[in-house]
Amino acid sequence: MTSLVFLHGVGGGHHSWDDQLPFFAGHGFGAHAWDQPGYGHSATVDPYDFESIAAALARLIVSLEDGPVVLVGHSMGGFVAQETWIRHPALVKGLALCFTSAAFGGADATFAREFVADRTRPLDAGESMAEIAARIMPTMRGSRSGAAGAAHAERVMALVPPETYRKAIAMLPTFDRRASLQHITVPTLLVAGSDDTVSPPGVMQRMAREIPGANWVQLDGCGHLGPMDQPDAFNAALLGFLKKRGL
Protein backbone atom coordinates (compact mmCIF):
# COMPACT_ATOMS: atom_id res chain seq x y z
CA MET A 1 0.00 0.00 0.00
CA THR A 2 1.37 3.38 -1.01
CA SER A 3 0.88 6.24 1.39
CA LEU A 4 0.15 9.74 0.18
CA VAL A 5 1.11 12.75 2.29
CA PHE A 6 -0.77 15.93 1.34
CA LEU A 7 0.98 19.26 1.91
CA HIS A 8 -1.03 22.49 2.08
CA GLY A 9 -0.39 26.05 0.92
CA VAL A 10 0.44 29.20 2.87
CA GLY A 11 -3.20 29.92 3.70
CA GLY A 12 -4.08 26.28 4.28
CA GLY A 13 -4.03 23.46 6.77
CA HIS A 14 -4.90 19.79 6.80
CA HIS A 15 -8.55 20.61 6.09
CA SER A 16 -7.47 21.85 2.66
CA TRP A 17 -7.53 18.17 1.69
CA ASP A 18 -10.97 17.20 3.01
CA ASP A 19 -12.08 16.18 -0.49
CA GLN A 20 -9.00 14.05 -1.08
CA LEU A 21 -8.48 11.99 2.08
CA PRO A 22 -11.65 9.84 1.94
CA PHE A 23 -11.38 9.47 -1.84
CA PHE A 24 -7.86 8.07 -1.83
CA ALA A 25 -8.37 6.04 1.33
CA GLY A 26 -11.34 4.47 -0.46
CA HIS A 27 -9.02 3.49 -3.31
CA GLY A 28 -6.67 1.68 -0.95
CA PHE A 29 -4.02 4.32 -0.36
CA GLY A 30 -2.75 5.53 2.96
CA ALA A 31 -3.92 9.15 3.01
CA HIS A 32 -2.41 11.66 5.42
CA ALA A 33 -2.71 15.45 5.51
CA TRP A 34 -0.28 17.25 7.78
CA ASP A 35 -0.33 20.64 9.37
CA GLN A 36 2.99 22.28 8.54
CA PRO A 37 4.90 23.46 11.64
CA GLY A 38 3.04 26.33 13.24
CA TYR A 39 -0.27 25.37 11.63
CA GLY A 40 -3.07 23.60 13.50
CA HIS A 41 -1.68 21.77 16.50
CA SER A 42 1.81 21.31 15.01
CA ALA A 43 4.64 22.85 16.97
CA THR A 44 6.58 25.52 15.13
CA VAL A 45 10.25 25.25 14.16
CA ASP A 46 13.13 27.68 14.57
CA PRO A 47 14.49 28.84 12.24
CA TYR A 48 11.33 28.86 10.15
CA ASP A 49 12.89 27.87 6.85
CA PHE A 50 12.48 25.18 4.22
CA GLU A 51 15.30 23.07 5.60
CA SER A 52 13.68 22.89 9.04
CA ILE A 53 10.23 22.26 7.59
CA ALA A 54 11.55 19.47 5.36
CA ALA A 55 13.21 17.91 8.41
CA ALA A 56 9.90 18.01 10.29
CA LEU A 57 8.15 16.34 7.37
CA ALA A 58 10.87 13.70 7.18
CA ARG A 59 10.27 12.86 10.84
CA LEU A 60 6.56 12.47 10.13
CA ILE A 61 7.18 10.18 7.16
CA VAL A 62 9.48 7.97 9.24
CA SER A 63 6.85 7.80 11.98
CA LEU A 64 4.25 6.48 9.52
CA GLU A 65 6.35 3.32 9.04
CA ASP A 66 4.87 2.92 5.55
CA GLY A 67 8.10 3.09 3.58
CA PRO A 68 8.72 5.84 1.03
CA VAL A 69 5.64 7.95 0.29
CA VAL A 70 4.19 10.06 -2.50
CA LEU A 71 4.18 13.75 -1.59
CA VAL A 72 1.26 15.77 -2.93
CA GLY A 73 2.04 19.46 -2.54
CA HIS A 74 -0.24 22.40 -3.27
CA SER A 75 1.39 25.83 -3.80
CA MET A 76 3.77 26.27 -0.83
CA GLY A 77 3.30 22.56 -0.21
CA GLY A 78 4.85 21.98 -3.63
CA PHE A 79 7.93 23.86 -2.43
CA VAL A 80 8.06 21.67 0.66
CA ALA A 81 7.67 18.54 -1.46
CA GLN A 82 10.60 19.52 -3.68
CA GLU A 83 12.77 20.46 -0.72
CA THR A 84 12.01 17.19 1.06
CA TRP A 85 12.85 15.09 -1.98
CA ILE A 86 16.15 16.94 -2.40
CA ARG A 87 17.14 16.58 1.26
CA HIS A 88 15.55 13.21 2.09
CA PRO A 89 15.22 11.29 -1.21
CA ALA A 90 15.03 7.84 0.38
CA LEU A 91 11.69 8.80 1.96
CA VAL A 92 9.98 9.81 -1.28
CA LYS A 93 8.81 7.50 -4.10
CA GLY A 94 6.79 10.03 -6.10
CA LEU A 95 5.84 13.69 -6.34
CA ALA A 96 2.66 15.51 -7.30
CA LEU A 97 3.49 19.19 -7.63
CA CYS A 98 0.24 21.09 -7.89
CA PHE A 99 -0.42 24.77 -8.61
CA THR A 100 3.16 25.57 -7.64
CA SER A 101 6.54 26.47 -9.12
CA ALA A 102 10.25 25.78 -8.79
CA ALA A 103 11.11 29.25 -7.49
CA PHE A 104 9.46 32.22 -5.84
CA GLY A 105 11.21 35.46 -6.65
CA GLY A 106 14.68 33.93 -6.69
CA ALA A 107 17.42 36.39 -5.78
CA ASP A 108 15.31 39.51 -6.36
CA ALA A 109 15.58 41.18 -2.96
CA THR A 110 13.30 44.05 -3.94
CA PHE A 111 10.56 41.67 -4.99
CA ALA A 112 10.92 39.75 -1.74
CA ARG A 113 10.64 42.86 0.40
CA GLU A 114 7.61 44.14 -1.51
CA PHE A 115 5.87 40.78 -1.45
CA VAL A 116 6.33 40.31 2.28
CA ALA A 117 5.27 43.88 3.02
CA ASP A 118 2.17 43.62 0.83
CA ARG A 119 1.01 40.36 2.38
CA THR A 120 1.66 41.34 6.00
CA ARG A 121 0.42 44.93 5.78
CA PRO A 122 -3.21 43.93 6.50
CA LEU A 123 -2.11 42.23 9.72
CA ASP A 124 -0.15 45.32 10.68
CA ALA A 125 -3.33 47.34 10.10
CA GLY A 126 -5.26 45.14 12.53
CA GLU A 127 -7.13 42.87 10.11
CA SER A 128 -7.91 39.36 11.24
CA MET A 129 -6.99 36.25 9.29
CA ALA A 130 -10.70 35.76 8.59
CA GLU A 131 -10.91 39.22 7.00
CA ILE A 132 -7.81 38.59 4.91
CA ALA A 133 -9.13 35.21 3.80
CA ALA A 134 -12.48 36.69 2.78
CA ARG A 135 -10.70 39.16 0.52
CA ILE A 136 -8.02 36.87 -0.96
CA MET A 137 -9.66 33.50 -1.54
CA PRO A 138 -12.45 34.57 -3.93
CA THR A 139 -9.80 36.06 -6.24
CA MET A 140 -8.17 32.64 -6.57
CA ARG A 141 -11.20 30.93 -8.09
CA GLY A 142 -11.28 29.84 -11.71
CA SER A 143 -14.01 30.40 -14.28
CA ARG A 144 -15.39 26.91 -13.69
CA SER A 145 -14.89 26.84 -9.94
CA GLY A 146 -17.83 26.55 -7.62
CA ALA A 147 -18.33 28.98 -4.75
CA ALA A 148 -18.17 26.14 -2.22
CA GLY A 149 -14.45 25.56 -2.76
CA ALA A 150 -13.52 29.20 -2.16
CA ALA A 151 -15.79 29.32 0.90
CA HIS A 152 -14.07 26.24 2.31
CA ALA A 153 -10.66 27.78 1.59
CA GLU A 154 -11.74 30.92 3.46
CA ARG A 155 -12.69 28.90 6.52
CA VAL A 156 -9.38 27.05 6.48
CA MET A 157 -7.29 30.21 6.06
CA ALA A 158 -9.17 31.96 8.86
CA LEU A 159 -7.71 29.38 11.27
CA VAL A 160 -4.06 30.07 10.38
CA PRO A 161 -2.24 31.71 13.33
CA PRO A 162 -1.18 35.23 12.29
CA GLU A 163 2.42 34.74 13.44
CA THR A 164 2.72 31.54 11.43
CA TYR A 165 1.32 33.32 8.39
CA ARG A 166 3.95 36.05 8.79
CA LYS A 167 6.74 33.49 9.02
CA ALA A 168 5.50 31.48 6.05
CA ILE A 169 5.09 34.58 3.89
CA ALA A 170 8.63 35.69 4.76
CA MET A 171 9.95 32.23 3.86
CA LEU A 172 8.35 31.92 0.42
CA PRO A 173 10.66 34.28 -1.49
CA THR A 174 13.70 32.29 -0.33
CA PHE A 175 12.68 29.26 -2.38
CA ASP A 176 14.55 28.52 -5.62
CA ARG A 177 15.07 24.91 -6.70
CA ARG A 178 15.12 25.45 -10.47
CA ALA A 179 18.58 23.92 -10.77
CA SER A 180 17.34 20.72 -9.10
CA LEU A 181 14.47 19.90 -11.47
CA GLN A 182 16.61 17.99 -13.97
CA HIS A 183 17.86 15.74 -11.17
CA ILE A 184 14.42 14.53 -9.99
CA THR A 185 14.37 10.78 -10.52
CA VAL A 186 11.03 9.75 -9.01
CA PRO A 187 7.73 9.68 -10.96
CA THR A 188 6.40 13.22 -10.94
CA LEU A 189 3.04 14.74 -11.80
CA LEU A 190 2.46 18.44 -12.36
CA VAL A 191 -1.09 19.77 -12.12
CA ALA A 192 -1.92 23.29 -13.24
CA GLY A 193 -5.08 25.36 -13.55
CA SER A 194 -5.77 27.23 -16.77
CA ASP A 195 -7.00 30.23 -14.76
CA ASP A 196 -4.30 30.17 -12.07
CA THR A 197 -2.62 33.58 -11.90
CA VAL A 198 -0.46 32.67 -8.90
CA SER A 199 1.25 29.68 -10.55
CA PRO A 200 0.40 30.20 -14.24
CA PRO A 201 0.23 27.10 -16.45
CA GLY A 202 3.00 28.44 -18.69
CA VAL A 203 5.36 28.54 -15.73
CA MET A 204 4.39 25.02 -14.74
CA GLN A 205 4.79 23.72 -18.30
CA ARG A 206 8.37 24.95 -18.37
CA MET A 207 8.90 23.29 -15.02
CA ALA A 208 7.49 20.01 -16.36
CA ARG A 209 9.86 20.07 -19.33
CA GLU A 210 12.82 20.23 -16.94
CA ILE A 211 11.81 17.13 -14.94
CA PRO A 212 12.72 13.86 -16.70
CA GLY A 213 9.60 11.90 -17.65
CA ALA A 214 7.18 14.19 -15.82
CA ASN A 215 3.45 13.85 -16.37
CA TRP A 216 1.44 17.02 -17.01
CA VAL A 217 -2.25 17.78 -16.43
CA GLN A 218 -4.06 21.08 -16.87
CA LEU A 219 -7.51 21.54 -15.36
CA ASP A 220 -9.57 23.85 -17.56
CA GLY A 221 -11.32 26.71 -15.81
CA CYS A 222 -9.48 25.96 -12.58
CA GLY A 223 -7.86 28.61 -10.41
CA HIS A 224 -5.15 28.37 -7.77
CA LEU A 225 -7.27 26.44 -5.26
CA GLY A 226 -7.29 23.33 -7.43
CA PRO A 227 -7.98 20.56 -4.91
CA MET A 228 -10.82 22.65 -3.52
CA ASP A 229 -11.78 24.37 -6.82
CA GLN A 230 -12.34 21.17 -8.79
CA PRO A 231 -11.92 18.25 -6.38
CA ASP A 232 -13.37 15.60 -8.68
CA ALA A 233 -11.15 16.53 -11.62
CA PHE A 234 -8.12 16.88 -9.36
CA ASN A 235 -8.71 13.51 -7.73
CA ALA A 236 -9.14 11.84 -11.11
CA ALA A 237 -5.89 13.34 -12.39
CA LEU A 238 -3.92 12.25 -9.34
CA LEU A 239 -5.44 8.77 -9.28
CA GLY A 240 -4.70 8.33 -12.99
CA PHE A 241 -1.07 9.26 -12.41
CA LEU A 242 -0.70 6.89 -9.47
CA LYS A 243 -2.11 4.00 -11.48
CA LYS A 244 -0.15 4.82 -14.64
CA ARG A 245 3.15 4.99 -12.77
CA GLY A 246 2.45 1.92 -10.61
CA LEU A 247 2.59 3.83 -7.32
- pLDDT of res. 106: 56
- How far apart (Å, rounded) are the C-alpha atoms in residues 43 and 56? 10
What digits encode the pLDDT tens for the residues 167-222?
999 999 999 999 999 999 999 999 999 999 999 999 999 999 999 999 999 999 99
Report the length, in residues, of the chain.
247
Would residue 28 be called left, alpha or beta, if left means φ above 0 and alpha means ψ between -120 and 50 degrees?
A: left
- pLDDT of res. 108: 61
> Which option is the CATH number for 3-244: 3.20.20.60, 3.40.50.1820, 1.20.1440.80, 3.40.50.300?
3.40.50.1820
What digits encode the pLDDT tens for the residues 48-104?
999 999 999 999 999 998 889 999 999 999 999 999 999 999 999 999 999 999 998
- What backbone torsions phi and psi does residue 195 show, to the nearest 5 degrees? -105, 15
- How far apart (Å, rounded) are the C-alpha atoms in residues 49 and 190? 24
Q: What is the DSSP letter of 34?
A: P
What digits encode the pLDDT tens for the residues 92-118?
999 999 999 999 865 566 777 888 888
- How far apart (Å, rounded) are the C-alpha atoms in residues 103 and 175? 5
Q: What is the DSSP letter of 7?
A: E
Query: What is the strand order of the sheet 69-74 is part of?
Result: 30-33, 3-7, 69-74, 92-98, 188-193, 215-219
With b for 16 or more beta-carbon neighbours within 10 A and e for fewer, the 62-98 pattern comes to eeeeeebbbbbbbbbbbbbbbbbbbebeebbbbbbbb
